[in-house]
Amino acid sequence: MALEFFESPQQQTIREFVHWVAQEKMRPNALEADRNQEVPIGLLTELKEMGITMDTGSGGGRLEESSEKKAGKTPKELNRLVVTAVEELGWGDAGITLTLPGAGLGGPPVSSFGTPEQRERFFGVFKDKEPRWGAYATTEPQCGSDVSGIRTRCVKDGDAYILNGTKTFITNGNIASWVVVFATIDFSLGRAGHRAFVVEKGMPGFIQGEKVHKMGLRANDTAVLYFEDCRVPKENLLGGEDLYEARQSGGFRVAMGTFDATRPIVAAMALGIARASFEHTRDFIKENYNLGRPVARYGRIKEKLAEMELKLAAGRLLIQKAAWMADVGRPNTLEASASKAYMGKAALEVCAECIDLIGDSGTTQDHLLEKWFRDIKVYDIFEGTGQVNRLVVARRLYEPFGIRV
């Protein structure tokens, strides 16, 4: 199956519809949601009714309207449809996008590694008319990018596991109905000791703690989670005990497999933010400058605009290739990390260049450009920092030669 360089009719339909939603529903609420640092429940409920959700892994959102979904099949271009939609959502507002109802980043591990019963049970909560959220928790106060260094402990106790530890910077952590949590049975075992659990809201010892106040993406609920002798039934061990007995690095594999699915999605959101900044700046320059005049600095302005357009185009191709590989069942670890590493850095550069071109007015708090600049910084950090993703790419490049880097 060849990679197409033109969007399919279904991708075009998704892009047009989601762009309308982003422009008419999300963009007008972006600054207020950012200032209030609150989850806009009314807007999210309206978007859910329109089919705009983050049911990653379970299928959902506008995808439910496809004939393939109605027939009980997964669309052949599901991942490409998702990154296409997410680019437009990021263009509308990234903070609101991250807070859309659905499984979110918790969806891919449940979909890929959960038992049939677990998938039915945990994805079933999103059938409710009220907004519901899932979440994903690996990051800890002492470890972020190094997933192998997690210290949250799990101990088998009869028909349950007892969890103790702290997770931080958890997207939708306070409002989630359930959270995929990574813990270790023994630090000395390294990756072999990792386990993944679905911890449900209300379980004794599970404390959804304080909200993290951030520089950007302030409409999104980002939380610290505490596990104090939290008793989790063995039925909530993701994939069941056989998964970890069969593979020594079972829990670590769940975490890494999740990144292969989510990194292109996060890169697509960064692309949307950068594109919004670029289009705003392009239009500003069109209205205020006559670039056809022989003014020396106008040449540099045109050069900067061209450089930004090239970065956006290159990033979109990397993202679409990573998504396409997932759709056709090819391993995409290198491509997923490459798209995230490139777009996180390139989007930050684009947003900074846009502020340089527009000047002082672009730095005021009532200006979307200032908000986009604050929002974009984290995209070179979460879902694996740029350094970590470049290391993943380097390792994949040298693997055929038997060299570990």
- CA 397 – CA 384 distance, rounded (Å): 18
Neighbouring-strand partners of residue 162: 155, 231
Neighbouring-strand partners of residue 196: 182
* Residue 295: count of CB within 10 angstroms of its CB: 12
Pair of tokens at residue 50:
């329109």
Element (H, E) at 334: helix 333-358
Q: 310, 313, 380, 297: which is closest to 87 by C-alpha?
A: 313
β-bridge pairing 206-211 and 222-233 = antiparallel
* Residue 385: count of CB within 10 angstroms of its CB: 16
Pair of tokens at residue 22:
């982003």
Q: Give pairs for 211-214: CB < 8 Å, separation 24+.
A: 211/174, 212/168, 212/169, 213/37, 214/378
Does residue 153 contact residue 183 with C-beta atoms inside 8 Å? yes
Out of 88, 140, 335, 383, pick the active-site residue. Answer: 383
- CA 292 – CA 275 distance, rounded (Å): 24
Report the phi/psi class of residue 61: left, alpha or beta, with left for phi > 0 and alpha for psi in -120 to 50. left
For residue 182, the SS3 value is strand
Does residue 136 contact residue 66 with C-beta atoms inside 8 Å? no
Element (H, E) at 372: helix 368-376
Please say if 399 is a catalytic residue: no
Catalytic residues: 383
